[in-house]
Amino acid sequence: MASYGDFAYYYDSLTENVDYDKRCEYIRGLLADNGIGEGILLDLACGTGTVSLKLSEMGYDVIGVDASEEMLSVAQEKKIESGADVIFLCQRMEELDLFGTINACVSTLDSINHITDEKTVREIFRRVSLFMEDKGIFVFDVNTPYKHREILGDNTFVYDTDEVYCVWQNSTDENLLTKVSLDIFEKDDDDDETYYRYCEEFAEKAYDLDDIRKWLEECRFEVTAVYEEMTKQSVTDKTQRAVFVAKKHGTQ
């Protein structure tokens, strides 16, 4: 799993098309549907902390966890600027170790896909279950096999913003492992003809949705719904991102 060094400082610019307010309202709605309107919430693979801070504003006691020190550095700066009461911890998802239990966990923007080993994904689910209260709710999204085959696979995308120019190249194999290569170009503030280039590489893997359901059930989670992203509609064979809602039963 990549640590996202230079990429961390351009992440927000490259995801500015994401409507985080709408996405967090959607998450809050899913949690409320399952009886979670407050309490301790874990933002797993929180990245630069945007979701953590917005959910904190909505009244949750938020813990944000990410393996990237660079991402968390950006998140910490946002926390200081906002004055939010959010705890950020630098931990790998499969090594999650909290001080107490949580009422809910969320993980957004295909963070689970960035784990390219099935055994590790199953350990992540086990660790989330270990720290979750009975009847706690786990909400996360994943890019689907369809998206890896038809949208991401062997394609190139270009992002051109006021802050950065990025060429995103994908290569997908028969196991739906997509290797991603980023070339990031940042313009010099003092010279319009000078650019600084940074390179990042990471990978994502698509998992069968039925397998994900099975792995959750192994960890005492009951999958109560699998939705088309940002809706409450059932997934189809052309769904690009699926949202899982799972309820914990019992304690470890």
3-state SS string for the chain:
CCCCCHHHHCHHHHCCCCCHHHHHHHHHHHHHHCCCCCCEEEEECCCCCHHHHHHHHCCCEEEEEECCHHHHHHHHHHHHHHCCCCEEEECCHHHCCCCCCEEEEEECCCCHHHCCCHHHHHHHHHHHHHHEEEEEEEEEEEECHHHHHHHHCCCEEEEECCCCEEEEEEEECCCCEEEEEEEEEEEECCEEEEEEEEEEEEEEECCCHHHHHHHHHHCCEEEEEEEECCCCCECCCCCCEEEEEEEECCCC
Q: Which residues are registered as beta bridge partners of 18?
A: none
User: Each residue's pLDDT tens digit in the chain (252 positions)?
Assistant: 444 555 666 776 677 788 999 999 999 999 999 999 999 999 999 999 999 999 999 999 999 999 999 999 999 999 999 999 999 999 999 999 999 999 999 999 999 999 999 999 999 999 999 999 999 999 999 999 999 999 999 999 998 887 788 999 999 999 999 999 999 888 777 777 788 888 889 999 999 999 999 999 999 999 999 999 999 999 999 999 999 999 999 765
Residue 132 and residue 150: Cα distance in Å, rounded? 36
Return d(Cα 117, Cα 115) in angstroms, integer.
6
Residues in the chain: 252
Instruction: List, in order, residues 6 or more apart from 173 with CB less than 8 Å away.
Output: none
Which strand ranges, in their side-by-side order, compose the sheet holding 177-188?
Answer: 156-160, 165-172, 177-188, 191-205
Identify the residue whose tokens are 């993980």.
107
pTM score, whole prediction:
0.93
Query: What pLDDT, on a 0 to 100 scale, did the predictor assign at position 19?
Result: 94
pLDDT at residue number 198: 86
pLDDT of residue 7: 65
Which residues on adjacent β-strands are paired with residue 197? 185
For the beta carbon of residue 101, count every other beta carbon within 10 angstroms. Answer: 16
Contact between 6 and 200 under an 8 Å Cβ cutoff? The reply is: yes
What is the structure's pLDDT at 12?
Answer: 67
Per-residue pLDDT, 1:
45
- φ/ψ region of 59 (left if φ > 0, alpha if ψ in -120 to 50, else beta) reads left
